[in-house]
Amino acid sequence: MATFNIFVLPGDGVGPEVTGASQRVLDTVASRWEHDIVYSTDLVGGSAIDEYGEPLRAETLEKAKTSDAVLFGSVGGPKWDNAPVRPEAAILGLRKGMGLFGNIRPVKVFPGMESSSPVKDEQT
Confirm whether 98 is domain-assigned. yes
Confirm whether 55 is domain-assigned. yes
Confirm whether 65 is domain-assigned. yes
Confirm whether 10 is domain-assigned. yes
Q: How confident is the model at residue 124 (pLDDT cuts 50, 70, 90)?
A: low
Confirm whether 42 is domain-assigned. yes
Answer whether 0.75 is exceeded by the pTM.
Answer: yes
Confirm whether 124 is domain-assigned. no
Hey, CA dihedral for 61, 89, 105, 37, is it positive or negative? positive
Domain count, the chain: 1
Q: What is the DSSP string of 16-80?
A: HHHHHHHHHHHHHHHHHTT-EEEEEE---THHHHHHHSSSS-HHHHHHHHHSSEEEE-----GGG
Give the length of the chain.
124
Confirm whether 87 is domain-assigned. yes
Q: Does residue 123 register a pLDDT over 70?
A: no
